[in-house]
Chains A and B, each alone.
With several copies, the nearest count.
Chain A
Amino acid sequence: MGFLGYSDVICDGDKAIVYLGYNSMMSLKLSHGTVTQTKRGALRHSDIIGKKYGCRLSTLSDKGYVHLLQPTPELWTLNLPHRTQILYFADISLITLQLELKPGSVVVESGTGSGSVSHAFARTIAPNGHLHTFEFHEQRAVKAREDFKDHGISHLVTVAHRDVLEHGFGIDFTVDAVFLDLPCPWRAVSHAKKILKTSGGKICSFSPCIEQVQRTCEELGSLGFSDISTFECLQRNYEHRTVILPYPNLGTKTVSRDDSKQASPNPDDSSSLQDTGIPGTSTEARQGDGATDIASGTTTPEAGKPLDRQGETDREESDRNEGGSQAKRPKLCEGAPQDNKKGNSLNYPTKCAVPWKDMPGHTGFLTFATLYILPGGS
């Protein structure tokens, strides 16, 4: 269990992350006697228990294999059951840093939601800090409490089912930081002020809409918070792709490329240098998925690829592009149109860092502020 620290061996009752292939994972609560179906084949839990985290395991029918990973808060965020919209890695990272969380911090969160942020907070404030998390939706509060227990962090987290906007936090001590993920965060700011340390307590509010941010900033300002700032933080993924842009055939007398260092052989004398292209580097028929990620180009043919390549290049269950249609996969124009016949065109593979086709355009606005209630005079 890696929610706190690491352990080497997978135990009964652990939650493990099953890595199925590129962008495809699932979480698994291990229990002797259970068998779980995955898209790579069935997994018998008894086969897993006792193995080491990080190991590779073939599925029952030997259809394929998976890797078993220790769940970190970051992996959990990618695999938890969504009970609400959740926050992801980039935002969580910035929030944790801006709230100055560290071992020993006492922090309040509202609402708990699916617990994505809670796990990250708990990890950072361990072993001697505490997270008080508030959720107004009862079912969610109960489920979160179960998760925290399962994940061995319940000693660090107290879950309260409470409507903070109406009733405040109801705690009689001060805390280092407050994180708000609420529909009307401005209504919680005065409550937060009551429980925040006045010597530099930190607050963060996450809101998807700018109107919420505007009201929250106004309220923070009027309540005497300082250093109010609002950020957006968007992550762009790059893939390593070996792109084969066809080398144009400019006719018999190719125009000389004086200053270019790259050799420019005459396409027509074409001793079929590369006339079959380079296996394993084709990029065709991948565009439909959007978030293409072809393993970086090697000159090894696909068949000779190490086993893991299979997993890494499999994009069938790309979680980045749920809306993408699987049926239509238009061919990629620039993908390896190799002229075998007469070999009168040469293609140079180019290693490219290509941004994924789609990226998150917005997660939410993060508003940060600090509370200092300082004595006047000198």
Chain B
Amino acid sequence: MASTDVIKQGQNVILKKGKSLRLYQVWRKRRVHLDKKHFFLDEAIGKPYGTTWDVHGQNVCLVTPDEERDEDVREGGTDNRGINDDTRSQKLSDEDIKALKSKGQHGAAIVEQLVENSTSFKEKTVYSQAKYLKKKRDKHLMRFQILRPNTILLCEMYLMRAPSKNIHLRIDTLAQILTAANIQSGINVMMMETCQGLLLGAIMERMAGKGTVVQIHSESAPVRLAVEAYNFPSSYKDTLHAFPLDQLGFLEPKESVESNNPEQSTSEVSDRLQACKTEEPQATNGKSVESKDCPQCSESDAKERSVGHRTQKEEERSNGEEENDSNVEDCDAAADDAGMVAMEADCQSGEGGTQGQKRKFQVNPEKEARKQRRRESLCRVRDLLHNTKMDVLVMACRFQPLPIFTALFKFLAPSRPFVVYCHYIEPLMECNEWLRNCNNAVNIRVTETWLREYQVLPERTHPNVNMSGTGGYLLTGTTVSNET
């Protein structure tokens, strides 16, 4: 087995239990919190990805493939004509079950007892039996699989836990963005996203550290939470260039960075960009990421954090751009503080929101030097965009797409693809209209995809009963010039 296939300290892993996915960073003696249980992943270090584990006390214990495929098929009834509607078929009460648990009974044993005490189990068809067993096992067994994070898992995780944070991006739509954008190693990508770095991560994976990515970011710092999950070599980040959305005016040829914001002092401009840079050392120094921000933070968590955060930063930040949007600010704050504050990686959503994440703001003494670096960075990106035509424009963000699209479109070389995602069709139709009039694109399409999963089982094959109502919409096309 190759050394890349085993779980190592410091890596981000996904724990999959039933349908639920959780992202954690693996450290010896770091407690992980899953489904109300706390335990250590120490046993898993050095073991292969894809392994299945049971929680025993505070530790985890590898499940052998034989144990895993323990799919009982028992003697079943032929149909459900004898089964009446009542809740009395289960003789075990909730109290009984609690008692079993408190006695330290293993989950598998509890499930077995439930079956024995069900009067209707034997009369159920084998299919109903299997369904029943699965339901009870998911409830009472503390069994999970450790997986290497990839785009599919991350996208599923975000979509399940906080769809709006991920602007509802669905797996098939994300797949289409990457393909329609012709993402490949070595090209120049211009992109803007507000899906916590998921799209950025997916793009970076397909570029493998070669080429250029100009990331337009809406808040004071680019949000790259999901990027960390990929465990990329640190060199990948060398291809990344951040540029703030509110400095797009600065890209106009005649503007210089100093005269750009006449009504704001230069220092204010720099302040606004500060957070952007606070992350940079981490990216460029290539040091290992020692903290893990958790994308599953609950709303209550988020509020707690952003409130505290805002108070501390009030003086530093003079513009109110992220006010009244604690959600996004939360992301910022998190990105901001990455590398500065060690946070518990296992902060949980919902009930578990009282884990007391402590954080303090570090006042930076090299303020002036950083301002200078920031100005230089802006100039670098401006020169890049003016000297090197971009190979693709990718957008998936929570803003009205048209103004951003029109601002960035001009930096594309001719005969290059562009892709704009939106959860709603109407804003894309605006872009479509603009494109048809601007005359610089062909093969323009607005599409939506139906993703349908099937249950394929003997005698029980059918499309899944529940399905996503929409995966959002994509505008795609190819630039042309009207040079003859």
Whether the Cβ atoms of B427 and A361 lie closer than 8 Å is: no
Whether the Cβ atoms of A328 and B349 lie closer than 8 Å is: yes
Task: Indicate if A155 sits at the interface (CB-CB under 8 A).
Answer: no
B372 to chain A, nearest CB (A): 20
Task: Indicate if B87 sits at the interface (CB-CB under 8 A).
Answer: no
Whether the Cβ atoms of B426 and A127 lie closer than 8 Å is: no
Q: A254, A334, A362: which contacts B464 (Cβ < 8 A)? A: A362
Task: Indicate if B185 sits at the interface (CB-CB under 8 A).
Answer: yes
Task: Indicate if B415 sits at the interface (CB-CB under 8 A).
Answer: yes
Whether the Cβ atoms of A308 and B452 lie closer than 8 Å is: no
Q: B326, B398, B432: which contacts A245 (Cβ < 8 A)? A: B398
Whether the Cβ atoms of A331 and B413 lie closer than 8 Å is: no
Task: Indicate if A36 sits at the interface (CB-CB under 8 A).
Answer: no
Whether the Cβ atoms of A69 and B184 lie closer than 8 Å is: no
| Interface stretch of the complex, out of B28-36, B133-141, B259-267, B362-370 | B259-267
Residues of B within 8 A of A228 (CB): 456
Q: A200, A211, A254, A268: which contacts B148 (Cβ < 8 A)? A: A200
Task: Indicate if A350 sits at the interface (CB-CB under 8 A).
Answer: yes
Whether the Cβ atoms of B468 and A333 lie closer than 8 Å is: no
Whether the Cβ atoms of A339 and B320 lie closer than 8 Å is: yes
Task: Indicate if B79 sits at the interface (CB-CB under 8 A).
Answer: yes
Whether the Cβ atoms of B328 and A337 lie closer than 8 Å is: yes
Whether the Cβ atoms of A56 and B483 lie closer than 8 Å is: yes
A127 to chain B, nearest CB (A): 6
Most buried by A among B49, B65, B456, B482: B456
Whether the Cβ atoms of B449 and A235 lie closer than 8 Å is: yes
Whether the Cβ atoms of A233 and B467 lie closer than 8 Å is: no
Give the docked Cα–Cα distance between A230 and B464 (Å).
10
Q: Which of B305-340 contact A (CB under 8 A)?
A: 319-321, 323-328
Whether the Cβ atoms of B484 and A247 lie closer than 8 Å is: no
Contact with B along A344-359 (1 / 0, CB 8 A): 1100101111111111
Q: B413, B433, B445, B465: which contacts A361 (Cβ < 8 A)? A: B465
Q: A245, A253, A337: which contacts B249 (Cβ < 8 A)? A: A253
Whether the Cβ atoms of B206 and A236 lie closer than 8 Å is: no
Whether the Cβ atoms of A67 and B480 lie closer than 8 Å is: yes
A-B contact count (CB 8 A): 436
| Interface stretch of the complex, out of B88-96, B112-120, B168-176, B282-290 | B168-176
Give the nearest-CB partner of B424 in chain A.
Answer: A352
Task: Indicate if A93 sits at the interface (CB-CB under 8 A).
Answer: yes
Contact with A along B48-87 (1 / 0, CB 8 A): 1111000000000110111000000000000111001100
Give the docked Cα–Cα distance between A246 and B323 (Å).
13
Whether the Cβ atoms of B398 and A308 lie closer than 8 Å is: no
Whether the Cβ atoms of A308 and B172 lie closer than 8 Å is: no
Whether the Cβ atoms of A376 and B64 lie closer than 8 Å is: yes
Q: A93, A213, A255: which contacts B456 (Cβ < 8 A)? A: A213
Contact with B along A192-220 (1 / 0, CB 8 A): 00000101100000001111011001100
Give the docked Cα–Cα distance between A139 and B84 (Å).
8
Task: Indicate if A179 sits at the interface (CB-CB under 8 A).
Answer: no
Give the docked Cα–Cα distance between A5 and B50 (Å).
35
Whether the Cβ atoms of A308 and B439 lie closer than 8 Å is: yes
Q: A137-B81, A330-B164, A354-B424 are in contact. Are A249 and B321 (CB under 8 A)?
A: yes
Residues of A within 8 A of B172 (CB): 90, 93-94, 231, 233
Give the docked Cα–Cα distance between A224 and B69 (Å).
9
A329 to chain B, nearest CB (A): 7
Whether the Cβ atoms of B456 and A230 lie closer than 8 Å is: yes
Whether the Cβ atoms of B206 and A102 lie closer than 8 Å is: yes
| Interface stretch of the complex, out of A27-35, A37-45, A70-78, A144-152 | A70-78
B426 to chain A, nearest CB (A): 5
Contact with A along B181-221 (1 / 0, CB 8 A): 01111110000001000000000011110100000001000
Q: A211-B460, A253-B252 are in contact. Are A54 and B479 (CB under 8 A)?
A: yes
Task: Indicate if A274 sits at the interface (CB-CB under 8 A).
Answer: no
Contact with A along B154-185 (1 / 0, CB 8 A): 00000001111101100110111011101111
Q: A345-B321, A359-B469 are in contact. Are A247 and B64 (CB under 8 A)?
A: no
Most buried by B among A229, A308, A329: A308
Q: A90, A208, A248, A331: which contacts B403 (Cβ < 8 A)? A: A248
A198 to chain B, nearest CB (A): 8
Q: Which of B453-484 contact A (CB under 8 A)?
A: 453-454, 456, 458-470, 473, 478-484
Give the docked Cα–Cα distance between A232 and B43 (Å).
39
Q: B326, B459, B481: which contacts A55 (Cβ < 8 A)? A: B481
Residues of B within 8 A of A53 (CB): 414-415
Q: B327, B433, B450: which contacts A240 (Cβ < 8 A)? A: B433
Give the docked Cα–Cα distance between A312 and B175 (Å).
27
Task: Indicate if A264 sits at the interface (CB-CB under 8 A).
Answer: yes
Whether the Cβ atoms of A211 and B446 lie closer than 8 Å is: no
B270 to chain A, nearest CB (A): 14
Whether the Cβ atoms of B403 and A250 lie closer than 8 Å is: yes
Give the docked Cα–Cα distance between A67 and B477 (Å).
13
Whether the Cβ atoms of B442 and A337 lie closer than 8 Å is: no
Residues of B within 8 A of A96 (CB): 175, 178-179
Q: A124-B184, A296-B436 are in contact. Are A334 and B164 (CB under 8 A)?
A: yes
A351 to chain B, nearest CB (A): 7
Task: Indicate if A377 sits at the interface (CB-CB under 8 A).
Answer: yes
Whether the Cβ atoms of B165 and A330 lie closer than 8 Å is: yes
Task: Indicate if B40 sits at the interface (CB-CB under 8 A).
Answer: no
Residues of B within 8 A of A311 (CB): 442
Whether the Cβ atoms of A341 and B320 lie closer than 8 Å is: yes
Whether the Cβ atoms of A93 and B175 lie closer than 8 Å is: yes
Task: Indicate if A239 sits at the interface (CB-CB under 8 A).
Answer: yes
Whether the Cβ atoms of B218 and A306 lie closer than 8 Å is: no
Give the docked Cα–Cα distance between A2 and B416 (Å).
9
Task: Indicate if A191 sits at the interface (CB-CB under 8 A).
Answer: no
Most buried by B among A102, A234, A354: A102
Residues of A within 8 A of B206 (CB): 102-103, 124
A-B contact pairs, 18 of them (CB 8 A): A8-B413, A52-B483, A53-B415, A98-B175, A127-B210, A136-B81, A199-B49, A231-B454, A233-B449, A234-B452, A243-B426, A309-B436, A312-B444, A329-B299, A334-B398, A339-B323, A342-B319, A360-B467
Q: 13 other contacts beyond A254-B248, A296-B429, with CB at 8 A cut-off?
A: A94-B171, A127-B185, A211-B459, A232-B452, A234-B450, A237-B469, A240-B433, A243-B424, A250-B249, A255-B406, A344-B320, A353-B425, A354-B424
Give B residues with C-beta under 8 Å from A: 1-2, 5, 43, 48-51, 61-62, 64-66, 79-81, 84-85, 148, 150-152, 161-165, 167-168, 171-172, 174-176, 178-180, 182-187, 194, 205-208, 210, 218, 245-250, 252, 255, 260-263, 298-299, 302, 319-321, 323-328, 349-350, 391, 398-404, 406-407, 413-417, 423-427, 429-430, 432-434, 436-439, 442-454, 456, 458-470, 473, 478-484
Listed from nearest, the 5 A-B pairs whose CB atoms lie closest are: A54-B414, A361-B467, A341-B320, A251-B249, A337-B325
